Each structure stands twice: as C-alpha cells, then as structure tokens.
C-alpha cells in the first residue's frame, strides 16, 4: 500500500512537471516546475500573512504590492479594483497627491455613440516633427509608449512580447541603446535610441556611421530617432554588458566583438557641445526625414538654457525631449548613481519645461517623460506639468511577467525577462505576454481618460496643475502649480473642451492650459 501511494505521488508530480514545462502562460512555472507553484500559493495567502508580519501593501520599492497587483490584474484583464476603501494615510502622508474632480465631469461616450469603440485611445496632441517640418512627421496614436530597454539587457522573447504588445495597442517602442534586432520586427513601430556606443550605426572603430544608420532605418520600422545623452539610473556613467552575456546575435546586432565586455562610453564622440549636438540632430533628420530628439536626466541646468537659447532662431532644433527622472532605470547601476545622482522626475521636468516655456518653445517640442509614470495618477500629473507622451519601462516589464525579483543585473531573472539564460528565457511565451502588454497599455489609457473626464476636460493635454493639490504632514495642502512654480493660469476657453486632437497650428490652445 505504501509503495502504491508513493508511486501515485511520484506519478502526480511527474505529470505536474510535464504540465509546467509545456504550458506557456506562466514563465515561473515553466522555469521552476513544482517549486513555482509555491509562489502562487504564498501570494494567495499573502494579504492574511501581511496583516501580522512583513510589510504592508504600500511599503515595498520601487513598486508597492498594490501597484504590482494593479499592473498584473490589468495585464490579465482581471478585476483590478480594490475593496474596503484606501489603505493610504490621506491626511498626514507627506507629498500625497490629490486630484480635484469637477462637479460636472466631461461626458463619457456611451454604447451606441459614434466614438464609443475608440474613446479610450489617446493620440498625442502634437505632431512629432511637425513643428520643424520633418518629411516623416507623424502624430503618435498613443500618448503612452515603451521606454528604452535594450535587447541584451532584456531577453529576445521579452523584447518580442513588448513589440507585439505595442503593435496591438498602437504604441511606440523605444529600442534602448542596444540597437534593433529581429525581436523588434513584429509589427510595433520603433523609436531607435542612439547611445554613446552608436550600436547598429557605427563603423569598425566604434565611431558613428551615418551610412550604417540609414541602412538600419530602411530595414526596420523606425518612426523616430532618440539620441540618449544620459539616463536616470546612471547619468554621467557609461554602461557595461559583460562578455558572458554577449551572444553571437547580440555581437552581430551591436557591431561588437565576442569575448569582450561591451562598453558604452560616458559621453558621445560625435559631438561635445550644444552647437555640435544640434548639427548632429539636423544631419540625421535631413538624411532620414525622421523626427529626431534627445533623452537625458537632469542636473546642471546650463545645458538646457543654452540648448533653448540656440533653438530660438528656429534654424536648428530637436523635435522631442525625453526627460528621465533619477528614480528611473531598468538595468544595472552603481548604488550611489541609482540613489543620489540626477533630479527626480517632477523636479527635473518642471525646471526644463519652464526654460523652454519662457522662450515660447514649448509648443514646438514634443515633451516625453519617464521614471515610474506608468500609473494613472502619476501619468496625469505629468501631463499637467507639460508632458505630451509618457514612457513606461519597468511597468511594462511587470505586465509581461516580471516579479520584481531585482536580479536584472545578474542575468538570473526568474521570469525570463532580463536574462540571456536559455532555460529561463524559454519560460516566457511572447504571444501570451504580448496580449498582456497590450491589455496593460489599454487599461492605463482607459483609466487616465477616466481621470481626465473626472476633472472636466476631454484630453490629458488639457489637464493643468490647478487640478491637483498636494497634502503635507501638517494637515494642510497646496496647489501643484504653487509647489512646482508654474505661472498663474487664467482658464480662458476651458468652458468648452478643445478638440481632442490639435493640429500643429493649434498646439498653443492645448499648451495654454498648462502654462
């Protein structure tokens, strides 16, 4: 009898292993058969355990348990509501954001209305490249896009899942500085990021090659080009992809040798001044016809002042500016850089935006923001500050299966997202995860539109800082406009909503709602 029971248990476990390694919905189970089930069991009783031990739902970083639960449920099209009221301390928590609803919200389309099927799509209010007349200027279909994450840092299946998800949700995908791979060619339009290593657009000596860039642009679905000056996780530092993580495919894509660490220098070799940067931008834009912009973390403001001053005459300029907060970063970084270098997003963006606004350039540039903005309330505040498009990175990783194990820098990501380990990668099914990625994007847009209409306007570009108050620990609150030092706003034209999509010559109507 004992041997029969033991044999039955072993047969059952064998069947579980067989099921786990062949199913495609859960990367953890594919990579860790049987053991992976304990994660889901513990997760199911987690709320009960956490009432007495460990942490509460809002304490974990960089993303709290509540935030992760919202992303997971949204990606799986499950119930992402929360019951029994908020668990947050609204009255005395420092810097607590409050969105001020209108007494008469903006009407939401109902079933049967002409625009009901598309009312959660949010196109950008500006034409990317339109102000400077680029040949291939376009209006992004979605104000949300996937921010820069390289193939190499992320696995091939993860990059493919993101690209497929972007195609399904009509969103753009930023390649990260690791260049364009076959994993990016699944229907999603790309923002090609050029970092200091010029991967994919470099000659045999590692210098920038315009000819190589043109070849890649013609081979892939590139909609815009982003020159990365720095990133929030490690501004002022280059990057290293260890030799052991460099596969033959990665070496071929990046144009680097096998067997050596891949080094991204801390600064560009193609330019070293603002004048040279603008010449570099115009050279690429003239050669490709594409909108060209920059991405940077923010510290010293003299660069931004000089850039804005040199753009005033109108002969040269960037088409978009992506500001990355110091709290951003999906890859490996020295602890001190991750913790203490570069301004956090809200301070960084407000300072740069005001510099361009003072020179009446804010209408001629598409502003993008990244750094933990992939949640409805954070995104809406960013729009009110002047952001036109929001980039999501780690939130997108969560949507395709990341469990915040924080092993991105080790190559041992258990979910197969940030690794080149073949066994771990096989657990991530791009087809299933792409649907989750798209679901997350659509839900994010939907809930941002809920908030937008709740404050009484039709498009996030019409939200302004007077729609927010920020509570401090002394039972008092101040308007977000006062805190971030934006000039007073006279709400002319707010009685009737501006058009959902503003043409380039009408951009001032939507921008006037924010400055």
pTM for this predicted structure: 0.86
**In a 3-state reduction of DSSP, which class is residue 282?**
helix
Cross-strand bridge partners of residue 188: none
pLDDT in tens, 409-451: 777 888 889 888 888 888 899 999 999 999 999 999 999 999 9
Domain 122-403 of CATH type 3.40.50.10310 = no
Residue 512 has pLDDT above 60, yes or no: no
pLDDT in tens, 474-494: 888 899 999 999 988 644 333
Contacts of 201 by beta carbon, 8 Å cutoff, 6+ apart: 179, 194, 208, 209, 210, 212, 213, 216
Contacts of 432 by beta carbon, 8 Å cutoff, 6+ apart: 24, 25
Looking at residue 502, what is its pLDDT?
39
pLDDT in tens, 342-380: 799 999 999 999 999 999 999 999 999 998 999 999 999
- Alpha carbon distance 320, 191 (integer Å): 11
Average pLDDT over residues 85-108: 86
* Sequence ranges of the domains in the chain: 97-116+458-511, 122-403
The crossing angle, in degrees rounded to 10, of helices 156-169 and 430-454 is 40
Cross-strand bridge partners of residue 99: 468
Other Cβ atoms within 10 Å of 119 Cβ, number = 17
Residue 153 has pLDDT above 70, yes or no: yes
Looking at residue 406, what is its pLDDT?
80
């Amino acid at each position: 009898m004992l041997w029969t029971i033991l044999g039955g248990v072993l047969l059952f476990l064998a069947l579980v292993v067989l099921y786990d390694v062949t199913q495609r919905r859960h990367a953890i189970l594919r990579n860790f058969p049987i053991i992976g089930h304990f994660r889901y069991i513990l997760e199911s009783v987690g709320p009960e355990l956490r009432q007495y031990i460990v942490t509460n739902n809002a304490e974990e970083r960089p993303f709290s348990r509540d935030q992760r639960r919202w992303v997971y449920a949204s990606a799986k099209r499950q119930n992402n509501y929360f019951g029994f009221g908020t668990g947050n301390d609204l009255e005395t928590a420092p810097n607590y954001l409050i969105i001020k609803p209108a007494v008469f919200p903006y009407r939401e389309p109902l079933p049967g209305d002409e625009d009901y099927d598309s009312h959660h799509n949010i196109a950008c209010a500006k034409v990317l490249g339109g102000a400077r007349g680029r040949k291939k200027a376009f209006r992004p279909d979605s104000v949300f896009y996937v921010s820069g994450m390289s193939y190499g840092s992320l696995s091939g299946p993860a990059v493919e899942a993101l690209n497929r998800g972007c195609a399904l949700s009509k969103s753009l995908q930023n390649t990260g500085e690791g260049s364009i791979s076959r994993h990016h060619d699944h229907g999603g339009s790309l923002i090609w990021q050029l970092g200091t290593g010029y991967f994919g657009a470099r000659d045999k000596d590692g210098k920038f090659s315009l000819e190589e860039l043109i070849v890649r642009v013609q081979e892939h679905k590139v909609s815009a080009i982003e020159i990365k000056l720095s990133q929030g996780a490690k501004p002022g530092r280059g990057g290293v992809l260890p030799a052991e993580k460099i596969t033959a495919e990665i070496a071929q894509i990046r144009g680097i040798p096998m067997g050596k660490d891949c080094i991204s220098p801390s600064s560009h070799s193609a330019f070293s001044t603002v004048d040279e940067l603008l010449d570099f931008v115009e050279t690429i834009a003239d050669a490709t016809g594409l909108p060209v912009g920059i991405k940077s973390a923010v510290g010293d403001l003299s660069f931004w002042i000089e850039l804005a001053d040199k753009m005033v005459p109108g002969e040269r300029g960037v088409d978009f500016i992506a500001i990355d907060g110091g709290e951003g970063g999906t890859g490996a970084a020295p602890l001190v850089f991750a913790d203490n270098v570069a301004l956090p997003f809200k301070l960084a963006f407000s300072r740069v935006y005001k510099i361009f606004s003072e020179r009446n350039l804010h209408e001629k540039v598409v502003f993008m923001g990244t750094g933990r903005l992939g949640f409805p309330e954070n995104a809406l505040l960013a729009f009110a500050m002047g952001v036109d498009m929001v980039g999501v990175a780690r939130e997108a990783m969560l949507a395709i299966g990341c469990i915040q194990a924080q092993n991105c820098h080790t190559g041992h990501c258990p979910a197969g997202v940030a690794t080149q380990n073949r066994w771990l990668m096989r657990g991530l099914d791009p087809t299933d995860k792409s649907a989750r990625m798209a679901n997350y994007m659509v839900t994010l847009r939907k809930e941002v539109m809920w908030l937008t209409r709740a404050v009484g306007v039709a498009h996030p570009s019409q939200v302004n800082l007077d729609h927010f108050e920020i509570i401090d620990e002394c039972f008092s609150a101040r308007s977000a406009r006062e805190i971030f030092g934006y000039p007073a706003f006279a709400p002319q034209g707010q009685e009737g909503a501006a058009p959902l999509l503003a043409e380039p010559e009408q951009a001032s109507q939507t921008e006037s709602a924010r400055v």
